[in-house]
Chains A and B, each alone.
Chain A
Amino acid sequence: MWFISADDLASPFLARTLRTGFPRLQNMVREAVIGSRDDANESYSGPEVVLMLQSIASVQQSR
């Protein structure tokens, strides 16, 4: 069996990949929230969209 170490989880490569592709990540988050609603509207920016976008904010702050 193969285990993932803490080093593997916190990969500089992963952080860099997420940071450079941050707009893509934001879109994914936004689409997931909006797509889950009955009234799927691309311009929707309710509190759950804001909250979920905040949840990935650490990606941008990481160096």
Chain B
Amino acid sequence: MDKNSEELIDQVNHVGVVGKKVESICNSAKNVESSFERLERKIREPYDRAKPLHTASMNLHSTLVILRGATRYLHLSRRLALQIAETSPQKQTIDPHAILRAAKTVAELSLSSIKVITDAIGAQVLETPQLAMLYITQTHVSTTLPQTIQRLQHQASKPPTFLMGPILYILSPQTFPAQIRNAVSASAGTALLVIQRALTSGSMVRGGQTRTGGVDEARIIWSGLERAFRDVQREGRGIAILENGLSSSTEEIDDEGDVVSGLLELAKEGKEGLDGVAPTAWFWRECASGMDKRFRESCRGKFECGSFRLTT
């Protein structure tokens, strides 16, 4: 002990120092513990209480989105059903304004905002199979709506009206130029068909008779041609009405909210449109080209076919 007294004293001192350090650490630990208790009291416990409330709130929000979307969809669908009834094919005359109103509702139903809602409904139905009835919105969007669009497009074109262009644009802005082109070409096709029929009417009456023709055959040919050119005039008139309707529209707003040029310009310059010419010019160009071919065939001409350009 005498030998190691100094060492022992050092050790005792060291124990004292350690003791003081332990005491200070204990104090710090107590502080940490009380801080933790305070944190737990002020944050974790309220969080635990709030968490189920938050989940319930989120579920309620989803339910509200679905209900709001479904209500909006039902409202628009009901409105469309009433408007479609106004355009029933059984009616003798269909007011083009009624078709325009229905087209506007179809456009609202096709909006991306409605699609977001129907997608949300789809996602919710996956989570909650009991809500499978809501799939009706998807079915409506993917099948019924395209059929309705097709019917309205057809009704807007037969016969062409002043509102035909705006209706076709509202129903399908992307395919609008191609639709106008198809409608004008179809009209020219109809005109050419009646000319073709008139030119063959003489041979129809000649069937079983003489090969030299006669007064009857000539009369049939001319009366047939008169009727045919009246039909050509009617088809041309329809296209002129369509063009007037397109000319009177100024600017339209597309799906992205961008301003696009007037409908006539869109029909002329748009993708798969009228190649830079007006509908009437396109119509008469096709009529002229087709008539030239048919008259040449009828008269068996042996000269080269001319080309027809009309750029007004």
Interface residues of A (CB under 8 A from B): 2, 4, 8-11, 13-15, 17-19, 21, 24-25, 28-29, 31-33, 35-38, 46-48, 51-52, 54-59, 61-62
Q: Contacts A14-B199, A28-B229 hold; do A59 and B295 have CB atoms under 8 A apart?
A: yes
- Quick check: is B288 within 8 A (CB to CB) of the other chain? yes
**Chain B residues bordering chain A, tally (CB within 8 A):** 49
A28 to B308, CA, bound (A): 20
Beta-carbon contact of B308 and A58 below 8 Å:
no
8 Å CB contact of A55 from B207, B213, B289, B298: B289
Residues of A within 8 A of B234 (CB): 36
Listed from nearest, the 9 A-B pairs whose CB atoms lie closest are: A36-B236, A13-B213, A62-B299, A8-B203, A48-B284, A15-B299, A55-B288, A55-B291, A32-B233
Chain A interface main SS type: helix
26 contacts between A and B (CB under 8 A): A8-B203, A9-B203, A11-B298, A13-B202, A13-B217, A14-B199, A14-B203, A14-B299, A17-B218, A18-B295, A19-B299, A29-B229, A32-B236, A33-B236, A35-B237, A36-B232, A36-B233, A36-B237, A48-B281, A51-B285, A51-B310, A54-B288, A54-B292, A58-B303, A61-B301, A62-B301
A27, chain B: closest CB distance, angstroms = 9
Q: Which residues of A contact B230 (CB under 8 A)?
A: 32
Decide if B240 touches A38 in the complex (CB within 8 Å): yes
Whether a CB of chain A sits under 8 angstroms from the CB of B90 is no
Q: Is the CB of B221 within 8 A of A17?
A: yes
Do A47 and B312 touch (CB < 8 A)?
A: yes
B296–A58 touching, CB < 8 Å: yes
Q: Which residues of B contact A (CB under 8 A)?
A: 199-200, 202-204, 206-207, 211-213, 217-218, 221-222, 225-226, 229-230, 232-237, 239-240, 244, 280-281, 284-285, 287-289, 291-292, 295-301, 303, 306, 308, 310-312
